[in-house]
Structure 1
């Protein structure tokens, strides 16, 4: 080979590598375009070919290979083939581990753990997260992400110490990195925890800390609700000027971004402030302005309390007839209400109405209703309301002995609440006092050290020996003091963790619900790039299935009892969402719930919810003709250690039961989850379609 040929070979090699790289970029771009256009199967085939081409190359373009793996994994994820998605991520891990690229290996480890987490396989996810966290090459972003997930997993296992250990790791890294996208949510979450336990002063601190980060991230919904909740705290503490200031700020944000529910909530708090100020006319105007949004959005509990407030204002103004009209409207909402605070507010208003009307029988009824509710675990505010009603009742009907006892109970309990509100201030003063006492003890110890040193010098001990003794004693004192402080900190952490189990569990359900909402949003975004009506329908069904699961976690973190899901509340929300999703006019198609209230475990409720989602969706789409007035009946009850689920409609039914078997993904989904629940399914197509499941494998919440 001559000199010219030798010099030309490297140029050829460079040109070949460059052409392969350009070809890969073009192919990846083409595959991504097919993915955006809904041609997922074609995109999968192209990504697989690109990966095989690169893996056969001795010097592959690793960035392009990563893009191909990520594209292939995303294709399987949008098609809900999560097992295939996990396989792709594991293949990528194995490849980069085989070439010794630890950094790129970890870029696929955390997403694989995420997939197991989304599939509720928490033990598998935890093991993979631990593997990643123990690797020093894990990036800080992935370390935050993995630590938060591990904390959530330990929270679900009721391991408070470990949950705090890992969530503190995530918080420390977020603070060091000034990760404003995460810090705002963390502070807002801590504030919600403190509010749940009634620590309003601490909650205020966390809410105020969250505001700058939420503003920086332009999180309008969370920012508005945070400002509103601060205003709500000040309103409950009777600091009305501060309450008005923060409610106005919340209203400004809500109006700027047209957040209708937030606007209604701000108007509602403004009405409560006006009521506290004694301006009942203004309060009525504000309450009535907020009410339509609650009614239109089917926010029954808020609507019930708002109408009760309107009626109470009318009573304070002496407008008995107007109060009676409002209470009649509240009567219709009461059966659907679920939050005890709002139910008690309704009974208090009705009680006061009948006290004014001098109707002892009906006043007694509403007093007893509150008594039954107060037998459960209620907050001090609601107990105080019941005691006030008891006092008013005996005073009105001239039972003077009982009136005196009721008055004593009321005033004693009211004073105890005021003492509790001052407990945090007392605790701070006590801590300052203890710190001073500790400083005195340390000063005394130092004085003792000096006396001992003088005695040693008087005894003519050498300067070196005395210095060494003093040094050793000082080091021992410092060691003992540090050990004491460390034990004190650990004890405080243990006490804190013992009080925050339920709140941490509430946080995990909140985050799971948010993750499901993200998946739903991804499906909605994907549908914009899909033209095929069948594919669009499949994406919409996917959104409904994800939303049915999100409702379960939303129910768990919004209610006090997080051990399980209330069947009636969940089915009502699910049906309302499906009717809204399909734009169903309830005058044409209605539904009737005959549901026995049970608290079912999450592992039972998720497959049951997905089955219900499929059956109700199928009835709404296929059961009724355009001019037919339809009705869907849903029955759920427990009989002889079995759950009986029956969904029936008066639609056109099916001519042959074989027409629905094996013809749709939804039917296959129903069969799969029925098998998981050990359910026997019976289908009857006479006079419409009736599907009945006898479920044997279910678990109630502990």
Structure 2
């Protein structure tokens, strides 16, 4: 059901024509004009559909005077399509049905175009029973394999059913390398969810669709035609409008404004006639957003825009928004007028639609039951064929019993052949095994090379920190750089141990800790002569994901001990490091007999980057750091 179309605008003869319509006029053959019309998606960019309709009508009169039946059919089909683009669906489908009988079976392309147009018209007119009949004919003529009803279900308000059927029909045919197709798919799924008032889920699909179409448009390696570029820009504008409408449903009004404005600008610039309902939806959503943001005059500007030819549900929405606007400005008389207008319109819709929708739902259900019956008949036929085949197989087995002796010698020959074949297969297996072993060796070499390069890069970072230390005079900065250098060395040492190991998946912790202690001692120039370090990690191996946190934790603890635990060089310092594995987990302990932590150690720990880093690394190992400062020195431990 549609509202009035408004006045048809004539061409401005004072302005010179250019663009697609002028090119169309310059073509001579009707076939060329027909093909050009459908290959030009932005044909209304410079001239409106009314201008095109005047030109096609003039061509139709010329073809009628000349008695050219082929040209008449082509121009009539273009004329019907133009009425569809203008929103006059009744006239469009009437013309299309008149043309139907005149198209010969040999002209399959015209018949395909005509049936598609009739299908779309019945959808806009909500004549879903007739739409189903057209789709059956399309299948019978070989234009489509399966009949899908998801769009009809959605038009009848069964959005969840539509979504389920759409995913079932389309998912199996999606090419995951075709970004444009993926964008269309996600946009359609999001559209069903938005109609079902599931705006949050819809928004996630729309954003995925937007990502796909942006990447598709920016892919310079994939050369696109002008038509493909125009289609991509159109899809991007539609997706932006859907994102804006989702934002409005989620009350994210300020976020919705730029999306809706961009979408309306593109659709009005190039596709105003064909996408009038989408423009109207976006305009009303934009008016609602401005209304909620307090921009009442701006909202009214959008509500007073020309939205002729829009579906009746959008008329209802517009009246509701106008009533809300007048309520906000306290013009209650106007508010009541629009509410009454909506009530009358809704009553007429309910009376006209209720019986028709029931019939159309029954038509869909009956059609599906018919299809299910056909499927059941086919399954029964297959079962009968299967039983017949089993009987034939049984007869064959009986016959084989009698002739089995005849084939005994052939069986021996087969055994000999199989033996020779097995020898050949064993050779092939040996060759494949050799290839796999070589591939594994090559993989190990590449992994070792990667770890070697990572270690070298980290070593270069350490060298850069050393150079920065020499060029820095601030003692605090020098200490920070030295600490950073030890952390980088701790990670570099992990990769060094990996490429030196035969097994690239784990690190032997005893040797790693010894190397780490030597590295830390060299930085702090303690030499180790007054500090006795005991390491108990024999036989413990960790993967790289746990070895790196352990290395950084040990680096921080040993560095802290060297810097703070033994302030006097003559102290008899002792450090004990213990790691053991217990089933799927393990236990770590670190102690020293230094001066211990001061009374304000907790406050200093919160301000210390080293302690904070240790706590985060322990959290990364899914554990909690424990600190004991009651005895001599300090003790850190945790389970992992």
When normalised by structure 2's length, the TM-score is: 0.36
Q: Larger RCO: Structure 1 or Structure 2 (Cα < 8 Å, ≥ 6 residues apart)? A: 2
Answer with 1 or 2: which has the greater Rg.
Answer: 2
